């Protein structure tokens, strides 16, 4: 199966990065290389580092980025390790960093990966197939209380408690091995009148288990400050999210880096000396157009937020740089 993935908010993201021909750019979620190809074709003496933990994504992107291979370095790793990857490659700073979060169309459509509730396959959901933890482990081994927390917090499903309970009851009879089996358990746990509205009954639980399996929110939350720290002055961090939990983390991190002051609001002057790292470019997130959604319905929930690193005092005034 070909690694096919339609890049969401492509033009808006490329415009947001403000690509310089001699710049250094990181694509932390390479996928099929759609965004990266648009970055690479705009580079002169610049460099692009593409990162993905999915081996099939790396192979597909290598093929797509072949015309610019002298400017591109591909790394199979988790984007949470981007600062270490930069050190390893002797990259001292980035002019732009991109994250296109969530699961790719290829991963959803390839039944063998076990991400989709629409196709019966072995429960898997690992973005990096080198890791041992899979969705099957979570469903069959996690305590009921932890399953409930995952489905409630990551899936925001109002029936999380009953879904977790029904999973535990079902696995006591036999191991839950396939997406189809999990589907039926979830369906039975949701009242019939509620199944008739609000989309597929398994959507939220599958999302929750996938997020837990791949530590998606944990990696995102732990990465953003370091990414902003890696940016060069005027460098930009562009992040595309697909659900409210991701977007909340990005919005909060951007706001904190723009205004990190922890002094009480009634203090006349700041005494904590915490300096702004830059500014949020997108007061409100950039959303896909109705035309894009018509062509690619999976783009419907996408949101793009952009942060720009502050200029150094040297750049602004010709003096010494602000201390980092």
- Residue 19 has φ and ψ, to the nearest 5°, of -65, 130
**pLDDT at residue 193 in the model:** 82
pLDDT over 70, % of the chain: 94
DSSP 90: T
Coil, strand or helix at 147: helix
Q: How confident is the model at residue 322 (pLDDT cuts 50, 70, 90)?
A: very low
Q: What integer is the mean pLDDT of 233-260? A: 97
Q: pLDDT per residue over 79-112, tens digit each?
A: 999 999 999 999 999 999 999 998 888 888 888 8
Name the more confident of 323 and 257: 257
Q: How confident is the model at residue 236 (pLDDT cuts 50, 70, 90)?
A: very high
Residue 5 confidence (pLDDT) above 90: no
Name the more confident of 264 and 18: 18
Task: Check: CB of residue 169 under 8 Å from CB of residue 222.
Answer: no
Residue 77 confidence (pLDDT) above 60: yes
Domains of the chain: 10-100+216-317 (3.40.50.150), 114-214 (1.10.150.170)
Q: What is the dihedral of CA 14, 8, 304, 32, to 10 degrees?
A: -70
Residue 46 confidence (pLDDT) above 50: yes
Count of all residues that appear for the chain in the document: 324
Residue 149 confidence (pLDDT) above 50: yes
Strand-pair partners of 307: 237, 280
Q: What integer is the mean pLDDT of 20-36? A: 97
């Amino acid at each position: 199966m070909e690694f096919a993935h339609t890049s969401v908010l492509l033009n808006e993201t490329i415009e947001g990065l403000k690509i310089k021909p001699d710049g250094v750019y990181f694509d932390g979620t390479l996928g099929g290389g759609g965004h990266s190809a648009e970055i690479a074709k705009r580079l002169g003496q610049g460099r692009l580092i593409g990162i993905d933990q999915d081996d099939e994504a790396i192979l597909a992107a290598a093929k797509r980025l072949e015309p610019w291979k002298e400017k591109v370095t591909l790394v199979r790793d988790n984007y949470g390790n981007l600062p270490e990857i930069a050190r390893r490659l002797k990259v001292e700073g980035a002019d732009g960093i991109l994250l296109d979060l969530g699961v790719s169309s290829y991963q959803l459509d390839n039944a063998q990966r076990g991400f989709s509730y629409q196709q019966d396959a072995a429960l898997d959901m690992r973005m990096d197939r080198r890791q041992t933890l899979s969705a099957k482990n979570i469903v069959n081994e996690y305590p009921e209380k932890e399953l409930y927390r995952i489905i409630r917090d990551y899936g925001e499903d109002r029936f999380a408690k009953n879904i977790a309970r029904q999973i535990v009851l079902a696995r006591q009879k036999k191991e839950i091995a396939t997406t189809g089996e999990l589907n039926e358990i979830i369906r039975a746990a949701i009242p019939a009148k509620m199944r008739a509205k609000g989309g597929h009954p398994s959507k939220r639980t599958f999302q929750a288990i996938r997020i837990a399996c791949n530590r998606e929110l944990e990696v995102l939350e732990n990465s953003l400050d370091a990414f902003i720290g890696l940016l060069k002055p005027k460098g930009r961090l562009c992040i595309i999210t697909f659900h409210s939990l991701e977007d909340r983390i990005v919005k909060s991190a951007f706001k904190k880096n723009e205004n990190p002051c922890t002094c009480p609001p009634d203090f006349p002057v700041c005494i904590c000396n915490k300096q702004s790292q830059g500014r949020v470019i997108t007061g409100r997130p950039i959303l896909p157009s109705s035309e894009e959604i018509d062509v690619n319905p999976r783009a419907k929930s996408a949101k793009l937020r952009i942060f720009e690193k502050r200029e150094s005092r040297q750049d602004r005034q010709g003096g010494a740089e602000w201390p980092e």
